[in-house]
Amino acid sequence: MNDHPPVVIIGAPRSGTNMLRDVLTKLPSVATWPCDEINYIWRHGNVRYPSDEFTPAMATPRVQQYIRRQFDWVARRYNAQTVVEKTCANSLRVGFVDCAVPEARYVFIRRDGLDAVGSALKRWKATLDIPYLLQKARFVPPLDLPYYASRYFWNRIYRLISREQRLAFWGPSLDGMEALLARHTLEEVCALQWKRCVERAEAAFSAMPEGRVCAVSYEAFVRSPQAELQRIVEFLGLGVSNRTLTDAVAGVSALSVGKGRQELGDALARQVLPLIEDTQRRAKSRRRADADVYAQAPTGYGCRYKGPG
């Protein structure tokens, strides 16, 4: 593909994946697509599959070839040595992604579950951003356009008629999504999305050789952005000056830490916490273990991942 392996950012919705991608693409010779996510590209060849939980077998040679052409397009278009990709739904199908781009390196970012749930709830109820959709639409494979056009038309209509004033769909689509939406409150569905994305990604990464995944805490990144970015670029093998790192993280803020919990409120937080408590506890344990390792590591230590812990 390119001079450096592609970088795939993995994270549940509202976990800082956009922020991390934007920071990385401020570095020299690093680029991405000129839109938010490219789920259309990842789903091409499996567009009518009912969820985003793809199996590795679904990455057929034809699908792999198509996806790799899109990475090559970004590298040529922006003269990039490193292509960064971020699509939250990839949290559910890391094995599939790894079949398509087996040389990829991963940055796995995790955020406090309740913060992520509170933030996701707002997106489920947001109005459709037509300019945003049009920006992404240029990357829809032409054969898939009728399918997506009908889906987004229904999404727009559903929000107008929904008693909850929510979209018909948003974010990574889980197996059995329609049944989950019928059986659970919207807050609980947000919690289940976060839980499933984190657990599926953890399981996939725990089976990978050490050295292919860099685990990042959203909270640690926004509180110490330059130190965390330094750790990531060392993992990726990118030679970057301190001044460049400083400039890249200039817009990073910790103001959103705790914001999702606050917007969710105590009552709803108590309602959804039992759904995610075990996953949340494992993630916190892993963050503490990683922090101890990084504190004791010599200069130049990058990242490691040894599973959910």
18: which residues sit within 8 A by CB, 6+ positions away?
Answer: 36, 86
- pLDDT bucket at 297, cuts 50 / 70 / 90: very low
Say how many domains are in the chain.
Answer: 1
Determine, yes or no, domain membership for 245. Answer: yes
Determine, yes or no, domain membership for 250. Answer: yes
CA 266 distance to own-chain centroid: 27
203 contacts 95 by C-beta, under 8 angstroms: no
Determine, yes or no, domain membership for 309. Answer: no
Determine, yes or no, domain membership for 14. Answer: yes
Determine, yes or no, domain membership for 301. Answer: no
State the residue range of the domain holding 18.
Answer: 7-296
Provide the 3-class DSSP secondary structure of residue 79: coil
CA 126 distance to own-chain centroid: 19
What pLDDT was estimated at residue 75?
97
Determine, yes or no, domain membership for 228. Answer: yes
pLDDT (tens digit per residue) in 65-120 = 999 999 999 999 999 999 999 999 999 999 999 999 999 999 999 999 999 999 99
Arithmetic mean of pLDDT, 273-287? 87
pLDDT (tens digit per residue) in 156-195 = 899 889 988 899 999 999 999 999 999 999 999 999 999 9
CATH no. for residue 284?
Answer: 3.40.50.300
Determine, yes or no, domain membership for 128. Answer: yes
Q: Which residue has the higher pLDDT, 306 or 265?
A: 265
Residue 295 has pLDDT above 50, yes or no: no
